């Protein structure tokens, strides 16, 4: 009897352990607010606060030396990989190219299911707007939420990958796209879109019910035509800051990234986009702040009604959007704990803002910034350098349209008190000389800025760093040089580490206190996606997607210098643990593209000059500045198809949809011929 009882107890304990290991995490408001549980990585920024901070410390400054491969997964169908994987109860979920979703067993790296939203087929002519980029997905209870470049929002069953509903969030006849991550909160999901350079867009965000897919509310970022009436009093207020017939240009302000749910104030805090067009003299010729461009806006999460805003760039003219991720933190500032947000937008300042009312607490420069001398803390406004406004003259301005910081998310470690920011130092030359400001118009599916934008981006045009920033003191704690200039977002841990992937293919861990490099491994291809960490069966894992991609690749020779031409190197998901026994794959070394010349062709300089303008509008976004591809799409200078005019003409006008090449059927014979001469000329030029 005694032994029977013993067996029964042992059985019960075994049952409890089994039940414990299979108890599924309920991904809801409570779980998504829990900063202390780091078993999972439940959201894009890990939790609602977007800190990308994990309390796991098995991998620390000492043990990190034993960090090695557990497994890798080949992703032969993928190209651009920028996604933050989610880790839920031992399963990884991530988006690959064209928002194809995979669920992978984190123990073994085996694929559990895949879902393909068939983006290439659905997008059709809208492939002109965007390549294959997706930054990730969201998890709510038993559902995954994912968006596509063709403007759809989809809900999938997280167990099976089965489609539960889908909803179109954009006008399918317009040049709008989504690369961003849907954000979930309280049974709702919110999404914005991009397109400020491609059409007369009026930015908005929309919230949907996760259960049904029904729209709950939509909030526009900029006012429409006053003659149509305003949707709300916020739009009426915003309209007072615009002049001329701004609605004819859309105005801009799209929310393509940077939405944070703040559970403590039940508010959505979002960063808004730049103007359409960039040139304020066109979109708002009498001047004005142009609300709510380049702003942080708080909305009531239940109703979508306006609460407060802070504008980072009044009267924006340099593509300095504020779409970078927004972190929620509690900071001890002059003896009181304040609920703040941390924001490092493109414009080169680091902002600490009170989340209760949007009041600016402090702002300092994180790099070379010449468009403004400082932010006046009394008025909250930047003190602009008048030389930076390119009115009737050119202006060389820091930072560039790349931004001092772009969408690669910074992280914040509450133990060190530091934010870890991938930064870029690069100028841009702005001018509107020769542009007829009165006649200028957007054109659907043509990239237009309202400023001159042509030519290659040289290799040495900019530099990059990983910057550790103290938001309380508003000063640099340390920085280390990064390869130029497109490096991944960061992950920071209680093991006192910062992880970052680099443009040269190195995946690196730093001492979070002083920036010493403590571990590094080469993964054979430029890394654009951020790492995540989580626990499986009591062991800390680190996973990262390796697939060169994102907007920085349009910077021609500057991006191409790393030697990652279009699809030349395998795309993979890597997972590391301490003393992992996995075998690294063979890596192909970097290769530089060799342009092909057509020596018998006499280049018509006049046509080539006209072709440069057509190229900027229609080709640059994927094929790179100066016809030098950073790797997103084939390098036209080295393409056999672009040697011969007839072959070139066919691919431009007809496209090749399965390859992701849309048809540019609206281009005239003259435009195609001009493009051809431009590409042939650039293939002959020695690029620096």
Question: Where on the chain is the footprint of Ca ion (CB under 5 A)?
Answer: 196, 274, 319
Which tokens go with 493? 């841990």
Residue 7 neighbours by CB under 8 Å, 6+ apart: none
Nearer to Ca ion, 448 or 558 (CB): 448
174 with 129: CB under 8 angstroms? no
Shortest distance, position 551 Cβ to Ca ion, whole Å:
9
Shortest distance, position 573 Cβ to Ca ion, whole Å:
29
The radius of gyration of the chain's CA atoms, rounded to the nearest angstrom, is 25
94 with 49: CB under 8 angstroms? no
Nearer to Ca ion, 407 or 548 (CB): 407
80 with 87: CB under 8 angstroms? no
Which tokens go with 253? 């302000």
Nearer to Ca ion, 262 or 319 (CB): 319
Shortest distance, position 397 Cβ to Ca ion, whole Å:
15
- What's the CA gap between 598 and 101, in Å, rounded? 42
36 with 55: CB under 8 angstroms? yes
Query: Can you say whether the dihedral through the CA atoms of 616, 619, 621, 622 is positive or negative?
Result: negative
Q: How far is CA 17 from CA 3, 11, 191, 534, in A?
A: 21, 10, 39, 20
Shortest distance, position 256 Cβ to Ca ion, whole Å:
8
- Residue 321: CB atoms within 10 A of its CB come to 34
322 with 294: CB under 8 angstroms? yes
- What's the CA gap between 522 and 528, in Å, rounded? 14
Shortest distance, position 293 Cβ to Ca ion, whole Å:
11
- What's the CA gap between 337 and 410, in Å, rounded? 22
Measured in degrees and rounded to the nearest 5, phi and psi for residue 168 equal -85, 130
- Residue 187: CB atoms within 10 A of its CB come to 13
350 with 471: CB under 8 angstroms? yes
Q: What is the DSSP letter of 597?
A: P
- What's the CA gap between 332 and 327, in Å, rounded? 15
Nearer to Ca ion, 196 or 442 (CB): 196
- What's the CA gap between 311 and 228, in Å, rounded? 26
Give the residue numbers annotated as catalytic, written as ranges: 319
Which tokens go with 320? 């300095």
Shortest distance, position 453 Cβ to Ca ion, whole Å:
12
CA within 13 Å, CB half, 546: 27
Shortest distance, position 321 Cβ to Ca ion, whole Å:
5
Nearer to Ca ion, 169 or 272 (CB): 272
Residue 79 neighbours by CB under 8 Å, 6+ apart: 97, 131, 132, 547, 549, 566, 567, 571, 632
104 with 52: CB under 8 angstroms? no
Which tokens go with 676? 């051809």
Shortest distance, position 624 Cβ to Ca ion, whole Å:
17
Shortest distance, position 487 Cβ to Ca ion, whole Å:
20
Tell the residue number behind the tokens 């930015």, with chain if given. Answer: 203
Q: What is the DSSP letter of 237?
A: H
Length of the chain counted residue by residue: 688
Nearer to Ca ion, 210 or 294 (CB): 294
Nearer to Ca ion, 196 or 423 (CB): 196
Shortest distance, position 349 Cβ to Ca ion, whole Å:
18
Measured CA angle at 395 (ends 394, 396), to 5 deg: 130
- Residue 211: CB atoms within 10 A of its CB come to 14
Tell the residue number behind the tokens 């919110």, with chain if given. Answer: 190
């Amino acid at each position: 009897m005694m032994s029977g009882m013993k067996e029964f107890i042992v059985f019960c304990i075994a049952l409890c352990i089994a039940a414990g290991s299979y108890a599924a995490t309920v991904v809801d408001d409570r779980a998504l607010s829990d900063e202390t549980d780091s078993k999972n990585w439940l959201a894009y920024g890990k939790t609602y606060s977007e800190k990308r901070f994990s309390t796991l410390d098995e991998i620390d400054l000492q043990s990190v030396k034993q960090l090695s491969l557990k497994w890798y997964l080949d992703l032969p169908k993928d190209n651009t990989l920028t996604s933050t994987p989610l880790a839920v109860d031992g399963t990884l979920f991530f988006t690959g190219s064209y928002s194809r979703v995979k669920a992978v067993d984190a123990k073994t790296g085996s694929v559990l299911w895949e879902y393909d939203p068939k983006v290439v087929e659905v997008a059709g002519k809208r492939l002109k707007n965007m390549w294959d980029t997706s930054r990730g997905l969201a998890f709510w209870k038993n559902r995954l939420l994912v968006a596509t470049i063709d403007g759809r929002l989809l809900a999938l069953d997280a167990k099976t990958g089965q489609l539960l509903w889908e909803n179109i969030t954009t006008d399918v006849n317009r040049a709008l796209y989504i690369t961003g991550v849907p954000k979930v909160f309280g049974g709702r999901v919110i999404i914005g879109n991009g397109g400020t350079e491609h059409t007369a867009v009026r930015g908005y965000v929309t919230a949907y019910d996760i259960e049904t897919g029904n729209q709950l509310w939509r909030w526009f970022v900029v006012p429409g035509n006053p003659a149509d009436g305003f949707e709300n009093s916020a739009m009426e207020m915003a309209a007072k800051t615009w002049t001329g017939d701004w609605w004819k240009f859309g105005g801009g302000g799209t929310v393509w990234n940077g939405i944070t749910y703040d559970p403590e104030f039940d508010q959505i805090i979002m960063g808004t986009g730049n103007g359409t067009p960039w040139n304020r003299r066109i979109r708002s010729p009498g001047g004005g702040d142009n609300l709510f461009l380049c702003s942080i806006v708080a909305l009531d999460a239940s109703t979508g009604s306006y609460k407060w805003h802070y504008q980072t760039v009044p009267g924006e003219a340099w593509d300095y959007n504020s779409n970078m991720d927004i972190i929620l933190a509690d900071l001890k500032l002059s003896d009181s704990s304040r609920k703040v947000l941390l924001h490092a937008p493109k414009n080169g300042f680091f902002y600490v803002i009170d989340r209760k009312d949007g009041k600016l607490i402090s702002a300092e420069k994180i790099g070379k910034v010449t468009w403004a001398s400082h932010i006046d803390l009394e008025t909250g406004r930047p003190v602009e350098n008048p030389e930076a406004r390119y009115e009737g003259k050119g202006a060389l301005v820091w930072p560039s349209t790349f931004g001092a910081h772009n969408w690669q998310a910074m992280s914040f470690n509450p133990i060190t008190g530091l934010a870890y920011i991938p930064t870029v130092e690069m100028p841009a030359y702005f001018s509107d000389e020769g542009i007829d400001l009165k006649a200028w118009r957007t054109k659907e599916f043509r990239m237009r800025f309202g400023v001159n934008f042509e030519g290659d981006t040289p290799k040495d045009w900019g530099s990059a760093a990983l910057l550790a920033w103290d938001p309380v003191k508003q000063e640099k704690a340390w920085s280390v040089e990064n390869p130029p200039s497109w490096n991944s977002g960061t992950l920071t841990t209680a093991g006192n580490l910062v992880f970052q992937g680099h443009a040269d293919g190195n995946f690196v861990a730093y001492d979070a206190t002083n920036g010493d490099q403590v571990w590094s491994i080469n993964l054979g291809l430029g890394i654009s996606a951020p790492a995540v960490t989580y626990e499986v069966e009591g062991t800390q894992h680190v996973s990262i997607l390796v697939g060169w991609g994102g907007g920085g690749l349009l910077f021609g020779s500057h991006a191409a210098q790393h030697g990652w031409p279009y699809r030349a190197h395998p795309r993979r998901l890597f997972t590391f643990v301490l003393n992992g026994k996995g075998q690294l794959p063979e890596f192909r070394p970097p290769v530089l593209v060799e342009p092909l010349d057509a020596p018998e062709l006499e280049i018509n300089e006049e046509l080539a000059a006209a072709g440069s303008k057509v190229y900027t509008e229609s080709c640059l976004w994927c094929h790179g500045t100066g016809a030098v591809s950073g790797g997103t799409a084939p390098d036209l200078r080295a393409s056999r198809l672009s040697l011969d005019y007839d072959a070139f003409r066919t691919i431009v006008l007809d496209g090749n949809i399965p390859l992701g090449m849309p048809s540019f059927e609206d281009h005239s014979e003259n435009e195609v011929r001009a493009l051809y001469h431009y590409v042939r000329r650039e293939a002959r030029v020695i690029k620096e």
